[in-house]
Structure formats: structure tokens, C-alpha cells
Structure 1
Amino acid sequence: MVEWRPLRTAVRPVPEPVATPFVWVAAFAGSLLLVAVLGAIGGLSSSAIALGSLCALAALLGLPARFRAAPGIALVCWLFLNAYAVAPRGELAWQGHPDVARVLLLLTAALLGTLVARIVNALGAHRRITPGKGPQ
């Protein structure tokens, strides 16, 4: 007799990434909060500080995300950076090469966060499913 069992009954060796729309909503809320905090403490006086902070947020948001969420994370972070930290404030404007560099930095940060998480998860899964050697 054949017994059917679901494949997902066991503990997964690698955690499931967070859904992409949820990560994009978190990027929107996190960017809004970060820009508000930077504005309150005077961090928006330099666009480099805002860019560095948003890159750190993008990398942090990339940790639980899938790779396909990275462009959306970078775009949302760039929108807040462009609207509130880069002159003229309050207006979205494309400045050519500087904006291309900013978007690429944000995309790289998000992809780097996701890559680091995948490597750490893969190494952890390898340790969990690889039979260990006993004391010799």
C-alpha cells in the first residue's frame, strides 16, 4: 500500500523568504520613518548621510526578501531620497548620472543584503542536514 505524505511536514532547512509585496510595504514605511527621523535630527542637510542611511535600510530589508524584491526596495528608497534629501526638496526630479548612481547603490545594497542572508541560510542548512562526525 502506498502512503501519501505532504512534502512540507518536516522542518525546512532554509527559511522561506518574506513575500515581495510585504517587503515593498516595509520599504515604504521604513523609508518614510527614516526620512522623518533624519529630518528631525538634521540629517537631511547632507544627501550623503541620507543615501547611506537608506542604503543601510535597503540592505536590512534585503535580508528576509527574495532577490526579485530588490529593485522595488531600491526604487522606493530612491523615491524618498529624491523627494526629501536631494535638492530641490519636495519635488521628484531626474538628474541623470547622479540619480543612476544613487539607484545602483540602493539596488546593490538590497541585493547584498539578500545575498548575505542566502549564504548564511545555506551554511546553516548545510550544518543541520550534514551528518556530523562523532568524537574520535
Structure 2
Amino acid sequence: MIEWVSLGTGARPVPRPLSTPLVWAATFTGALLLVALLNTLVGPGRPALALAALSLLAGSLGVCARFTAAPGTAVLCWLFLNGFAIPPAGTLTWTGSRDTFWLACLFTAALVGTTLARLAHARQAYRRVGAKTGSAEGDWGA
């Protein structure tokens, strides 16, 4: 006799974020490829476009990362932005307000991605626990 058993019994764990070194390796590779692609397609000297693309990369990597990975992700993206997306290529420079703004944008993008992922996972876990206990969503004991 075959007995059908539901595989969805029990609480499913909240997805664990990737390790920080793995996120940084993905950031290094992704930023390198992204800046190379942008330099090939539109040419160097377009820092606004490169900043937007690298911010999207930092945000998307933040979705699967821990909060502790955000500063390193921002710095790695900034190194490729500063070193290869603006002329002269291969030379790191520091222009106070510009580079501070770039780092702030990249850091914020990584934090926003991580925060959105954590909130989405917490909401899903709350719904699963609420469904198991039979409480209605939005019923705060009133």
C-alpha cells in the first residue's frame, strides 16, 4: 500500500544569506565584467551610467548577502568605477565629494537590497507560521 505524505509539513527555514567572501568574489567578477562591457559598448568616461549599473549590481548582490558584506561590496564596485570607468583607465584617484557620493550610492544600494530581502523573508516566515497556527493575518489579538 502506498501512503501519500505531504512534503510541506513543518516550518520551512528562512533562506540563509551567502557567505561574505562568496558575495565579494561575485562582486569582483560582476563589476569587472560590467565595466568592461560598458567600456566596450559606450566607451569610458560615462561615470553616471557606470554608477547606475554598478549600483544595480550591488543591490542585486545585496539580496543574497549579509549586512556585513555591504561595505566591501560598495568598495569593490567603487574600485572598478574609479579605476576603469573614468579616464585615465587604471589610475585610482580621489575627488572628495564625487567619490564620497559614489561610495554612498553603492553602499546604499547594497543595504537596500539586503534589507528588502530580509523583510521579504521575514514576511514569508510570518505568513507560514500564521497559517500553521490558524491565526488570521492582521489579527493582532484585538
Could you state the TM-score of these two structures normalised by the residue count of structure 2?
Answer: 0.82
Provide the rounded CA distance (Å) in 1 between the counterparts of 2:105 and 2:30: 18
Amino acid at match of 1:49: L
Q: CA RMSD in A?
A: 1.6
1:117 and 2:117 correspond: yes
Residues matched between the structures, number? 125
Provide the rounded CA distance (Å) in 2 between the counterparts of 1:69 and 1:12: 25
- Residue 76 of structure 1, CA deviation: 0.2
Bigger radius of gyration among the two: 2
Match of 1:6 in 2: none
Provide the rounded CA distance (Å) in 1 between the counterparts of 2:95 and 2:87: 10
Secondary structure of the 2:60 match is helix
Paired residues of 1:44 and 1:50 also in contact (CA < 8 A): no
Paired residues of 2:11 and 2:129 also in contact (CA < 8 A): no
Paired residues of 1:13 and 1:128 also in contact (CA < 8 A): no
Structure 2 residues without counterparts, runs of 5 or longer:
1-9, 137-142
Match of 1:71 in 2: 71
- Residue 126 of structure 1, CA deviation: 0.7
Greater shift after overlay, 86-95 or 67-76?
A: 86-95
What whole-Å deviation, never above 9, does each CA across 1:76-100 have from its counterpart, x for those lacking one?
0000000011233220111111100
Residues 28, 11 of structure 1: alpha-carbon distance in 2 compared, 3 angstrom cutoff: farther
Paired residues of 1:24 and 1:72 also in contact (CA < 8 A): yes
What whole-Å deviation, never above 9, does each CA across 1:6-56 have from its counterpart, x for those lacking one?
xxxx75431111000000000000000101111111153411000000000
Residues 80, 63 of structure 1: alpha-carbon distance in 2 compared, 3 angstrom cutoff: same
1:104 and 2:104 correspond: yes
Amino acid at match of 1:105: C
1:13 and 2:13 correspond: yes
1:59 and 2:44 correspond: no
Structure 1 residues without counterparts, runs of 5 or longer:
1-9
Could you state the TM-score of these two structures normalised by the residue count of structure 1?
Answer: 0.86
- Residue 104 of structure 1, CA deviation: 0.5
Which runs of structure 1 show a deviation greater than 6 angstroms over 4 or more consecutive aligned residues? none
Using the aligned pairs only, state the percent identity. Answer: 50
Amino acid at match of 2:121: N
